[in-house]
Amino acid sequence: MSNPYSPGAGLRPPELAGRDDDITAFETLLARAEAGRPSQSMVLTGLRGVGKTVLLNDLANRARHRDWIVAQIEARSDPDAAGTAFRAMVSRSLNQSLRQVTGSWGVGERLRAALATFKSFSIRTDPTGGLSLGIDIDPLRGRADSGSLEMDLSELAFDLGSSAAGLGAGVVVLIDEMQELARDELSAVCTAAHESGQRTVPFYVVGAGLPSLPGLLAEARSYAEQLFAYQPIGPLDRADAGTAVVRPAASHDVAWEEAAVAAVVDASAGYPYFLQEHAKAAWDYAPGPGITLADATVGLQVGRDKLDFGFFASSWNRATPTERAYLRAMAADGDGPASSGEVARRLGKTSVQQVGPVRANLIHKGLIYAPEHGLVAYTVPGMAAFIGRQVD
C-alpha cells in the first residue's frame, strides 16, 4: 500500500530525478519573458518511457504557479478530425486556464479584449460556445475566426500574449506527442510562435515527442530549427538513476542495499519507466526492513514480466504480423539503428522498396523512426531484447 514507485505512462514519479537542467531552462524562459526578454520555444525529444510527459507536466505546473496562461494538450493522429480536433483541444484547455487566471487577475480591460478573441477562436469549432463556457464576453468578430488555423492561432497568440504581458506573465502551449500533429497543424504552431517572437509577445510552445519530431518540424517550416531549442531527453546517468530509486524509499525510512540499487540501475539502463517498474517489484517482494540484493534480484524478474506484458506489449500488440517480422529483422542490430537495406535483405527482399510500405506504417504508428536517411530504430528502448523473448 505504501509502495512509492509509479510505473506507468505519464504517472508522476515520486522523485523527478536528473531533469534539473531542463527545468532551469524553462524557468529561465519564464523569468526572461516576465522581464520582456524573448527566448526560443522548446522541444523535448526522446524514446518512449524516458519521462517526457511527466517533465512536460512539471513544466506546465511551474507556469501555472506563476499565473501564466497555460494550455496543455496531447496530440492524436485522427484523420477524421484533423484541424478541428486540434482547435477544440486548444480551446478546451485554454478555457480552463483563462477561467483560473481571471480568478486571480480579475477581468480588466486588457484581458477583456483577449477573452473576446479567445471566444471567437473557440466558437469557430463549437458554435454553441461549449468550449468557452463561463467566459461571459461577446466574441470579437473578425479576429481569430477566419477558419484558417494558421491565421487564427497567430492572432490568438498575439492577443493573449499581449494581454498576459501587460500583467507580467505570458502564454505557453504544451503539446505532448507532438509528432502526431498533422503537417498544417505543425506549421500553424510554428507560425504562431515565430510571429509572436518577432513582435516580442510572450507566447511560447513547449513540445514533447519522439526523436522524429525535429525532422517533421523542419519539413513543416524551414525556420523551425532556429525557432526551437531542442532538448534531447535521455536515460538517467547512474547517480540520478540511483537517486530515483533510493530517495522515494528513504522518505519512508526504507534503505536500499547499495548492490540492490546497482542491480536495478543496471537492469534499467537508466530508463525511468524501467527503474520505476523494477524498484516497485523489489519493494513489493522485500520482507523488510530494507531492500537487499536478493529482494532486487527477484524484483527484476517480476519487473521484467510486468514490462513485457505492459510497456512492451502496448507497442508490440499494435503491429501486424508483417510489421512484427520487420521489427524482428531489425533486432539483429540490438537497439542500435539498423540499415533499412539490410533489414530488407534479412527479410529476403532484393530492394528496400519492397518493404517500404511496412516501414512507413511502422513509422506512422510511432513504433520506429528514421534517425538518419537509410536507417531505422525502435522508439521503445529495450525492444530488441523483448522481441528476443517472444515466440511468435
Shorter beta-carbon distance to ligand ADP: residue 110 or 230 = 230
Judging by DSSP bridges, how do beta strands 228-232 and 69-74 pair with one another? unpaired
Shortest Å, Cβ 371 to Mg ion: 19
Q: CB of residue 367 vs Mg ion: minimum separation in angstroms?
A: 15
Q: Which is nearer to Mg ion, 53 or 179 (CB)?
A: 53
Q: What angle do CA 57, 60, 166 make, to 5 degrees?
A: 175
Q: What's the CA angle centered on 390, arms 386 and 392, to 5 degrees? A: 145
Task: Pull the grid cell for residue 202.
Answer: 510572450
Q: Which stretch binds ligand ADP (CB under 6 A): 47-55, 80-88, 260-268, 281-289?
A: 47-55
Among 7, 161, 270, 381, binds ligand ADP (CB under 6 A): 7
How many residues in total does the chain contain?
A: 392
Q: Interface residues for ligand ADP in 250-289 (CB under 6 A)?
A: 272-273, 275-276
DSSP classification of residue 308: I
Q: Which residues pair with 304 in a beta bridge?
A: none
Give phi and psi for 322, each to the nearest 5. Answer: -65, -40
CA distance 287 to 314: 31
- Say if residue 171 is exposed, middle or buried (CB neighbours under 10 Å; 0-12, 13-18, 19+): buried
Min dist CB 77 to Mg ion, Å, is 15
Among 19, 143, 194, 324, contact with ligand ADP (rule: CB under 6 A)? 19
Tell which one of 16, 115, 172, 282 touches ligand ADP (CB under 6 A): 16
Taking CB atoms, the residue at the shortest distance from Mg ion is 53
Q: Which of 53, 132, 196, 212 binds Mg ion (CB under 5 A)?
A: 53
In whole angstroms, what is the distance from residue 45 CA to residue 210 CA? Answer: 5
Among 51, 202, 207, 303, binds ligand ADP (CB under 6 A): 51
What is the smallest separation between the CB atom of 94 and Mg ion, expressed in angstroms? Answer: 21
Q: Kindly tell me which residue out of 69, 181, 189, 244 binds ligand ADP, with binding defined by CB under 6 A.
A: 244
